[in-house]
């Protein structure tokens, strides 16, 4: 009798998706649930204002990291719960225990690794310099001493400082472009993928994008966890690996960025 109970328990943790092959959904373990902010839920911190990663369309939260977060949570046997938060409060909020994980175009850096753990990278983000169309700037080396917009504490801001630009804080992509158009800054450093996605739905007249991949290596983008939550990180990585193997992450990349930026 005990044997059959164990067998039924194993079967209950596996969901088979008949269309497109088998899909394995792992039931959340007691170790994972003990680390979660709310049992049965994966609380995900993100901005919700940064297309195509996370943004609102017709009032509904959507985007690459929103869809990926839902898929990962489902594979973990959990329900995704999103908490939109301003960028400069996201990582501090993770440290304060407001979220289980942050998914917000987070770059792996040595500084962050001192306090937090990363997931396996799910995309690679290429840096870009966006300037007026009539600008004489052609590369990052030329931004020295010039006003360049980037979000405070972001990898974009790190690049601005590295090339000795004068940082103008703004984490909102659309308003940053407006500031460049208005001449309130010389340009903005952001991701090439954000530019591609934005230009699909909005006019970029008067602006041009300079791909800076040959000057600054693409950033590894990962989810961010507290070090005190190893079970959540391990379960997340296992679920993410499945989604990478079955092509889900690649499909979401093509959907939101128009290209496969998973490698």
Domains of the chain by range and CATH?
Answer: 2-123+219-257 (3.40.190.10), 127-211 (3.40.190.10)
pTM of the predicted protein model = 0.73
Angle at 243 between CA 124 and CA 28, to 5 degrees: 120
Q: How far apart are CA 148 and CA 126, in angstroms?
A: 17
Ordered per-residue pLDDT tens for the chain, 263 residues: 443 433 333 333 434 343 444 455 556 889 999 999 999 999 999 999 988 899 999 999 999 999 999 999 999 999 999 999 998 899 999 999 999 999 999 989 899 999 999 999 999 989 999 999 999 999 999 999 999 999 998 889 999 999 999 999 998 999 999 999 999 999 999 988 888 888 878 899 999 999 999 999 998 999 999 999 999 999 999 999 999 999 999 999 999 988 888 98
pLDDT computed for residue 7 by the predictor: 39
Q: How far apart are CA 179 and CA 213, in angstroms?
A: 24
| CB 77, CB 13: distance < 8 Å | yes
Which segments within the chain are labelled E, that is strand?
A: 41-46, 55-57, 60-62, 79-84, 101-107, 116-118, 123-125, 127-132, 147-150, 166-169, 187-191, 207-211, 219-226
Q: How far apart are CA 248 and CA 209, in angstroms?
A: 29
| CB 205, CB 186: distance < 8 Å | no
Task: Give CA torsion, residues 193, 196, 200, 202, to 10 deg.
Answer: 100
Residue 185 DSSP SS3: coil
Q: Which two tokens stand for residue 79?
A: 């329900």
Q: Which two tokens stand for residue 146?
A: 């010039």
- List of residues 6+ apart from 236 with CB closer than 8 A: 42, 72, 76, 101, 119, 223, 225
């Amino acid at each position: 009798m005990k044997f059959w109970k164990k067998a039924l328990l194993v079967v209950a943790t596996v969901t088979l998706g008949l269309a497109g092959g088998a899909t394995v959904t792992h039931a959340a373990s007691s170790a994972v649930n003990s680390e979660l902010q709310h049992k049965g839920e994966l609380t995900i911190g993100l901005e919700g204002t940064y297309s195509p990663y996370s943004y609102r369309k017709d009032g509904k939260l959507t985007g690459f990291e929103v869809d990926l977060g839902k898929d990962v949570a489902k594979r973990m046997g959990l329900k995704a719960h999103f908490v939109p938060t301003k960028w400069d409060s996201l990582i501090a909020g993770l440290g304060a225990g407001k979220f289980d994980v942050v998914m917000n175009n987070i770059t792996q850096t040595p500084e962050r690794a001192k306090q937090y753990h990363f997931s396996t990278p799910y995309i690679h983000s290429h840096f870009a310099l966006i300037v007026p169309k009539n600008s004489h700037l052609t590369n990052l080396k030329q931004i020295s001493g010039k006003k360049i917009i980037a979000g405070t504490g972001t990898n974009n801001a790190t690049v601005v400082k590295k090339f000795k630009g004068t940082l103008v804080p703004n984490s909102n992509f659309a308003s940053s472009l407006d500031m460049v158009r208005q001449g309130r800054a010389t340009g903005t450093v952001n991701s090439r993928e954000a530019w591609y996605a934005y230009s699909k739905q909005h006019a970029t007249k008067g602006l041009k994008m300079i791909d800076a991949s040959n000057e600054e290596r693409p950033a590894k983008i990962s989810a961010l966890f507290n070090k005190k939550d190893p079970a959540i990180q391990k379960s997340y990585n296992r679920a993410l690996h499945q989604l990478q193997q079955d092509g889900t992450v690649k499909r979401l990349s093509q959907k939101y960025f128009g290209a496969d930026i998973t490698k």
